[in-house]
Amino acid sequence: MMTIAEALLQAHQLIHSETPKLDVELLLAEILGRDRTYLYTWSERPLTDEQAELFNNWFNRRLAGEPVAHILQHRGFWTFELEVTPDTLIPRPDTELLVEIGLELLSGIEEAPRILDLGTGTGAIALALASELSRAQVLATDVMPGAVALAERNRQKLGCDNVEIRRSDWWSEVDGNFHLIVSNPPYIAQDDPHLVQGDLRFEPRSALVAQEDGLADIRQIITGAPTYLVQGGWLLLEHGWQQAEAVRELLRERGFSAIFSRKDCGGNERVSGGRWL
């Protein structure tokens, strides 16, 4: 019978993963219904036949490159777990920077803030902001029906009654004015080699790739945002690690002020924003 320790040793086979040890720990913890500390405290305990069969199935899927989040069908973001499907991007820790900055920018507003999350995917950004700002009214949109359905399931699971999920192709079904507009849009160029590597192979191209060297959707958002911002409102965008200068220039050309960029946990400029006055 396979023990927990023997299963953990298989991590060395995941040569194409950046986090092989963590991957195996997450799979085992899910199967056993325990936390990761348990795996090392009781490492000599055997898996049941059913547990071993499930582990081998999941491990082989990960060996083939399928993301752990797709195998487990959930991923942690901010302070909660989100359902994840192949219809959307897997929420990433760097995107939490959008939430952190958004909360900072809204901290001085006395009235109930109105927030728009464009291209919401799983609903991660909108739900994180709504969970921290109970008075806020949040509109989250996405063009893909599968993403809209997924975000709505996550909204219901978390009980965020101050969030509305709506299908919209960027600005097509948006109305009203907002104190904060946030977005993590597609920003990878079509010929980027990373698209055929790692977990990105399993994620929807429509949520990853944009024309104009990855800037087309960012440009569309920046162009339209002033129509939907209150005076003094903010626009925040996640972008590629080499795009900050180009995004700042687009914001400047459109007439935004107080333009800035902020670095992610890897030291790369990942979020840029500006204020509409």
Q: What pLDDT score was predicted for residue 193? A: 56
Are 125 and 182 in contact by the 8 Å Cβ rule? The answer is yes
Q: What percent of the chain has pLDDT over 70?
A: 91
**Tokens found for residue 45:** 């305990």
Q: Which residues contact 237 (CB under 8 A, 6 or more apart)?
A: 182, 183, 184, 185, 218, 221, 222, 247, 271, 272, 273
> Which residues lie below 8 Å from residue 122, measured CB to CB, with a gap of 6+?
75, 77, 82, 83, 84, 88, 89, 91, 147, 150, 151, 154
* Alpha-carbon distances of 157 from 29, 212, 271, rounded to whole Å: 22, 38, 28
- Residue range 225-240: mean pLDDT, rounded: 97
Ordered structural domains, the chain, with CATH: 4-65 (1.10.8.10), 86-276 (3.40.50.150)
Q: What is the mean pLDDT of residues 158-173?
A: 97
The two three-digit tokens of residue 191, written as one number: 């010929």
Q: Is the four-CA dihedral 245, 120, 263, 252 of positive or negative sign?
A: positive
Q: By the 8 A CB rule, do 274 and 261 touch? A: no
Mean pLDDT over 21-38 rounds to: 97
Mean pLDDT of all residues in the chain?
A: 92
Model pTM score = 0.91
Q: What is the pLDDT of residue 126?
A: 98
Torsion of CA 82, 147, 64, 18, to 10 degrees: -50
Which of 92, 155, 97, 95 has the alpha carbon at shortest distance from 127? 155
Which region, left, alpha or beta, applies to residue 194 given φ > 0 means left and ψ of -120 to 50 means alpha? alpha
Q: What is the mean pLDDT of residues 102-130?
A: 96
Q: Is the pLDDT of residue 165 over 70?
A: yes
More confident residue, 213 or 28: 28
Residue 51 reports pLDDT greater than 80: yes
Tokens of 69: 């989040």
Find the mean pLDDT for residues 11-22.
Answer: 94
The band of 87, judged by pLDDT with boundaries at 50, 70 and 90, is: confident
Task: Find all residues with CB under 8 Å of 167, minimum gap 6, and list them.
Answer: 141, 142, 143, 145, 148, 173
> For residue range 175-198, what is the model confidence (pLDDT) as tens digits?
999 999 999 998 675 655 554 556
